[in-house]
Structure 1
Amino acid sequence: MTSTTNDQRPRLALFDLDHTLLPLDSDYEWGQFTARKGLVHSAAFAQRNAEFFEQYRAGTLDLNEYMLFATEAMRKLGPEASHAAHQMFMAEVIEPAITAQALALIAKHRDAGDTIAIVTATNEFVTTPIAKALQIEHLLAVNLARDSSGWYSGHIDGVPTSREGKVTRMAQWLAARNWDWDTVHTTFYSDSMNDIALLERVNVPVATNPDATLRQLAAQRGWAILDLFPHA
């Protein structure tokens, strides 16, 4: 059951994933993992992966170019080997990084009856098992197009959940449930200025483990600031 405010609006708790619920970037770490395991040409891949990560942090990332790069390993491996590799990735990288603080925050919203969703700029292949590990039912991630064989093509399907696209995808998600922004009460947790569009759209923006720019903006605007874990 979804809890409500006095005006009976359903309450939604929305979370960015990387550096918000996790103290790492799952997209970047997946790339590094594939390099370490020899699933891609390691040295050149790791260098390019780092370059793309810096572009993301700077807000200059070409998401279409990046997605072709980021899906290279899984496209070459195919479904069975890719899923096996991801299981290793979860065990070696993601599960040890899930903190008690993050789980407690999710549990607080779950116990309150809030509808919980992850809204992330990382692709669905990387993030679907992570959402399951966090026991979060709803995931809005970058959807990946599929080729004639039914496996990922390396291209983006639809509007990516990145920057302003997060607002667009959330509006679509709400509409599919016969909701809109005015009929729900929304809280959104994020670490990054890349998410400023959605932070400005929700009822309660929470700068979570924020970068320096977002921390300053949140202080200026009187937004809540939450540090779930120390910055690396």
Structure 2
Amino acid sequence: MTRTAGTARPVLAFFDVDETLIADKSMIEFWRHWAAAHPARTTDDTGELRAEAAATRDREELNRRYYRRYAGVPLDTLEAAGRRWYDGYRRGGAAFVLPAVDAVAAHRAAGHEIVLVSGSMRPLLAPLAEDLGASAILCTELVVSAGGVLTGEVDRPMIGGAKADAATRILRERGADPGDCHAYGDHESDLALLRAVGNAVVVGDSPALHEAARHHGWPVVPARRGPLRAERV
């Protein structure tokens, strides 16, 4: 457990992932990868997924519907595919949101614990967590059968209020003071998470979050894209 100098309590920095740390939506980008690897039994409807994600207000139901696509897939197969996808994705010249990645490095240098909070799934987030030195992942957890096969269902989607609930839980477990902790998000669904800590940062140009930032005095950073370089992490 990391602790800041001069205090008995740890400081945690929570980061949303999609379009906050990485520049794209991981679930959609991974689906493109998955469909290309399984052309005989999978349709690449990435465009439809993008449109649905942009238009749907009920992000929890959208989250559940997405994961039903993987019903019957062995978990270890999905984990291996997730690592292959991320290995390719991370090499992109505009794959990361640089101000947020720089913030990760600054928090780590200060001895803060990095926590990823995302509606995405662990097979996609685990390699990112390793890259960024995150110690915990709060995400949508897949339901797996006794035989290690995905049922297509999930526990509570890590969307909206679920993010704040999960962050509050880990703050209590770590014995952290929420007022000392930090959170970063890009979408209005991150608002509850941002309000759960004393130091929130808005990433990007969400009108709803900009309004909240003006009200609360939160800083706003641009969603400037670029590559992941070793000196950043």
So what's the TM-score if we normalise by structure 2? 0.81
Matches within 5 A, 1:78-89: 78-89=74-85
Matches within 5 A, 1:188-199: 188-199=183-194
CA distance in 2, matches of 1:11, 1:62: 29
Using the TM superposition, give the Cα deviation of residue 190 of structure 1 relative to its aligned residue in structure 2, in angstroms: 0.5
CA distance in 1, matches of 2:84, 2:137: 21
Matches within 5 A, 1:97-112: 97-98=95-96, 101-112=99-110
- Contact 1:209/1:228 (8 A) holds in 2: yes
CA distance in 1, matches of 2:76, 2:216: 48
Provide the aligned C-alpha RMSD in A: 2.7
Using the TM superposition, give the Cα deviation of residue 76 of structure 1 relative to its aligned residue in structure 2, in angstroms: 4.4
Q: Partner residue of 1:24? A: 24
CA distance in 2, matches of 1:91, 1:7: 38
Partner letter of residue 225 of structure 1?
A: V
CA distance in 2, matches of 1:2, 1:229: 30
CA distance in 1, matches of 2:76, 2:144: 15
Q: Partner residue of 1:226? A: 221
- Contact 2:72/2:152 (8 A) holds in 1: no
Distance change (3 Å), C-alpha of 1:101 and 1:170: closer
Matches within 5 A, 1:1-232: 1-4=2-5, 8-39=8-39, 41-43=42-44, 45-55=45-55, 58-63=56-61, 66-70=63-67, 72-73=69-70, 75-96=71-92, 97-98=95-96, 101-157=99-155, 159-177=156-174, 179=175, 181=177, 185-229=180-224
CA distance in 2, matches of 1:62, 1:137: 25
Distance change (3 Å), C-alpha of 1:22 and 1:142: same
Partner letter of residue 143 of structure 2?
A: A
CA distance in 1, matches of 2:202, 2:97: 18
- Contact 2:78/2:123 (8 A) holds in 1: no
C-alpha distance after superposition, 1:117-144 (max 9, x if no partner): 1111112222122211222121111111
- Contact 1:28/1:53 (8 A) holds in 2: no
Give the number of aligned pairs: 222
Fraction of identical pairs, as percent: 21
- Contact 2:74/2:149 (8 A) holds in 1: yes
Q: Partner residue of 2:230? A: none
Unaligned runs of 5+ in 2: 227-233
CA distance in 1, matches of 2:184, 2:147: 37
SS at match of 1:42: coil
Partner letter of residue 42 of structure 2?
A: H
So what's the TM-score if we normalise by structure 1? 0.82
Using the TM superposition, give the Cα deviation of residue 100 of structure 1 relative to its aligned residue in structure 2, in angstroms: 5.4
